Structure 1
Amino acid sequence: MAAITPDRKIIDILNEKKAAGVKTCLSLEYFPPRTEEGVKNLYARMDRMKGALSPLFTDMTWGAGGSTADLSLELALHAQKTGHVSNLHMTCTNIQAKEGEEDVDPKKAIHDALQAALDGGIRNIVALRGDPPAGEEEWKASEGGFACALDLVKYMREHFGQEFGISVAGYPEGHPNAISEVADPSTLTEAEKARSSSFDGKTYCCLDADYKKEMDYLKEKVDAGSDLIITQMFFDVEVFKTFVKDCRKWGINCPVVPGLMCINAYGGFKKMTKFCKTRVPADLDAKMDSIKDDAAAVKEFGVEFGVKVCQDLMDSGLIEVLHFYTLNLEKVVYGILDQLKLSDNALALVNEKDAASMVAKGSAWARVGDEVTCEHGKGVVDELLPDGSAVIVISGKDDKVTMAKGAYQKVF
């Protein structure tokens, strides 16, 4: 088996490990922090986690609307230079013009970013459509840019050949945009019921006809040159198993990597699952509600639940990699992998004193109704403005304040 060096493609390493009889590998995903202190702390955490876990590859996300393009590339290049097999997310969304620049040509901006990644030794890209920029509720293609992830995959293969290994996203429950509210849940088919979700007394589902479109589109992305699929988060393992089996029915035969969202905090769990309309099994929902006021208990349960999910996935024989959305934290990931015997007392290395600095730059999660904090105190977002500013109703007061993007933070 060839040496695992940072300039290799994930799919090649994975194929070699599979041929050598290695059953389960792991990978880690991080996001660009908002502050310089956060970046410094993330570098230290990435070094610790690489030493403790030897991940197969390391993902770096690309902020909503291209908002972290430069920093994402910088962080991914740092990872590559420090021995990680770096897997850089890249989206079709517009890259914002720098101060003093005219409007950016979106295709040229993406091309330049890809070339910079290649020149820096990065050989792996996650091709995504992307989330809408802050202040916008719907995703819109940039004028003259790519309309979808498929366009980006095709462009990369046309202009860069086989220089990059390409990953694409898969959605076991359907893309959030393809999930709709169901007026009468009794009309759902058995397949629809199995991937449906419920929030605030309403039922949501990617209906069979829309799910078929999702799978047809995924097949197009793979046929266009994608090497592997990394899934959206899920909390019901049966939904993932069905998705992998459906992939094979559609003739999608590449590896399907499960995206595992670590449960670190009650608020974050609730907001992310509601935003993505993620299916949450009733027993999981009840357990989270029962411990919501005990932060330590939530993390402890996050480990317990993560172990169960990972063991179920490994026992299924359907996976080769466990991919952890770390949320730039380490305790829950270490706890899970220590109990699975995939790491050796990694928990002894935990240092989350800097957790407060791990706030995402350009986060797309702030939405109307979210609780945030700013210099005026805690409040709730009443309105999001096109420039990313938020009108916030301050708790305990009748006052509304307008805060610029970056001057308020979500409360998780």
Structure 2
Amino acid sequence: MTTTSPDPKIIDLLKAKEDGSKPFASIEFFPPRTEVGVKNLFARMDRMKEAINPLFTDMTWGAGGSTAELTLKLATHAHEHGHVANMHLTCTNMEKDGDPKKAVHEALTTAKNNGIRNIVALRGDPPAGEEEWKAAEGGFTCALDLVEYIRENFGQEFGISVAGYPEGHPNAISEIADPSSMSEAEKGRSSTFDGKVFTCKDEDYKKEMDYLKKKVDAGADFIITQMFFDTKAFGAFVEDCRKWGILCPVVPGLMCINAYAGFCKMTKFCKTRVPASLQAKMDSMKDDPDAVKAFGVEYGIEMCKDLTAIGVDVLHFYTLNLEKVTYGILGGLGYEVKTAADESDAASMVAKGSAWARVGDQVKTNDGATGTVLEIFSNGSAKIAFEGKEPVSLPKSQFSKVF
């Protein structure tokens, strides 16, 4: 058990923000796949605490509950090294002695005993090898259940944040056969991939907002959004929150643009709206990694200026376990950045239990061969096709995704 004082609740820190002051900065990390990656992340967390002093630091919970122990370890390290830890907790694949609620209770108790007082309550992604999310028998069915459970069993011990989706949850986004039939609001949430148009229809968006209101009414203190690249979509979402009576802070989640392939893969996976001008610019630089990173800083600065004008309390950076783009954005906005970025360890920042490992992904083996995933098994291993060779099955420790 840590001997340091428990973290403050993030909502209390937000309430103390002075009117007219710059937004706070906060950051998010994911659990790396290897021990070397974990060691390097510890060093990066310490550097970023010194460099930008984030208001809080998120630690994600891997798909299917695959990183439960490591997430707790990393969140505890963050707490013990001066960060205000905001630990993700999901309902997926959480069982202890056959009882999923017991597992969640133990995770919360461990977090509490280690000084962690802030939780991001999420449903979570399906485990590796499964395309659809399924509730454990006798367990939670959604994030709302988790929020209610925390408040019922731990009262006000924890600050709670929940996810919000400015363009709709990916599961609520549909392909539109006739784009001319879309309402103006649907157009503002729409995305285009492979010549197909997608949006969260107005009736589905209403269900999304009704559900978000239930999560806040059940005890969530604030909202952190899914990534977006169109600040107008975020602004419309905040306005809709207020119309729905959701009056808590809405924190924008900002995915740092670090690489062309990763940008394309994640926006397509989440069906994220990408303005045509942004996609054209990214396409023009796809073979120049340094130019992509530099543009990631430039575009991030402009997004943050728009969000500051809207009046957000926090700029929350999905760092992808890197620091250069985050530092560049904050420095460009006039924030003090006290140390230089060091990304010499970038290759070790591969996610453990990543939700992005899917059939059809391009992967690279430890010896450098590149192939395509044909099938993913429940233990995380995969059947991979290599050009000119018979497909082979490899354990997850022997390949990584190509972004």
Q: 1:277 to 1:252 in 2, by over 3 A?
A: same
Partner amino acid, structure 2, of 1:14: L
1:179 paired residue among 173, 178, 184: 173
Matches within 5 A, 1:224-235: 224-235=218-229
Q: 1:373 to 1:312 in 2, by over 3 A?
A: same
- 1:328 aligned residue: 321
Spell out, residue by residue over 1:193-229, the C-alpha distance to the aligned partner (whole angstroms, 9 max, x if none): 1100010111111100000000000000000000000
SS at match of 2:106: helix
Spell out, residue by residue over 1:297-346, the C-alpha distance to the aligned partner (whole angstroms, 9 max, x if none): 010000000000001100122x10000000000000000000101124x4
- 1:125 aligned residue: 119
- 1:340 aligned residue: 333
- 1:371 aligned residue: 362
* Counterpart-to-counterpart distance in 2, 1:18 and 1:243: 24
* Counterpart-to-counterpart distance in 2, 1:393 and 1:183: 33
Structure 1 residue 155 and structure 2 residue 154: aligned? no
- 1:406 aligned residue: 397
CA contact (8 A) 2:151 2:219 kept: yes
CA contact (8 A) 1:66 1:96 kept: no
Structure 1 residue 361 and structure 2 residue 352: aligned? yes
Q: What's the CA shift for 1:349?
A: 1.6
CA contact (8 A) 2:59 2:87 kept: yes
* Counterpart-to-counterpart distance in 1, 2:191 and 2:63: 25
* Counterpart-to-counterpart distance in 2, 1:48 and 1:389: 34
* Counterpart-to-counterpart distance in 2, 1:322 and 1:349: 20
Matches within 5 A, 1:54-203: 54-95=53-94, 104-203=98-197
Q: What's the CA shift for 1:407?
A: 2.4
2:216 paired residue among 207, 219, 222: 222
SS at match of 1:218: helix
CA contact (8 A) 2:95 2:103 kept: no
SS at match of 2:385: strand
Q: What's the CA shift for 1:385?
A: 2.6
Spell out, residue by residue over 1:116-141, the C-alpha distance to the aligned partner (whole angstroms, 9 max, x if none): 00011111000000011111111111
Identical amino acids, percent of aligned pairs = 69
* Counterpart-to-counterpart distance in 1, 2:65 and 2:98: 11
Spell out, residue by residue over 1:178-206, the C-alpha distance to the aligned partner (whole angstroms, 9 max, x if none): 00111111111111011000101111111
SS at match of 1:216: helix
Q: What's the CA shift for 1:375?
A: 4.3
- 1:38 aligned residue: 37
1:381 paired residue among 343, 348, 373: 373
Q: Which runs of 4+ in 1 moved over 4 A?
A: none
Q: What's the CA shift for 1:153?
A: 0.2
- 1:13 aligned residue: 13
Partner amino acid, structure 2, of 1:327: L
SS at match of 1:78: helix
Q: 1:6 to 1:358 in 2, by over 3 A?
A: farther
- 1:100 aligned residue: none
* Counterpart-to-counterpart distance in 1, 2:30 and 2:58: 8
Kindly tell me the number of residue pairs found equivalent between the two proteins: 398
* Counterpart-to-counterpart distance in 1, 2:22 and 2:305: 12
Matches within 5 A, 1:250-329: 250-317=244-311, 319-329=312-322
Partner amino acid, structure 1, of 2:73: E
Runs of at least 5 residues in structure 1 that lack an aligned partner in the other structure:
98-102
The two structures have a TM-score, normalised by structure 2, of 0.96
* Counterpart-to-counterpart distance in 2, 1:42 and 1:129: 25
Q: What's the CA shift for 1:383?
A: 2.0
CA contact (8 A) 2:94 2:136 kept: no
SS at match of 1:17: coil
The two structures have a TM-score, normalised by structure 1, of 0.94
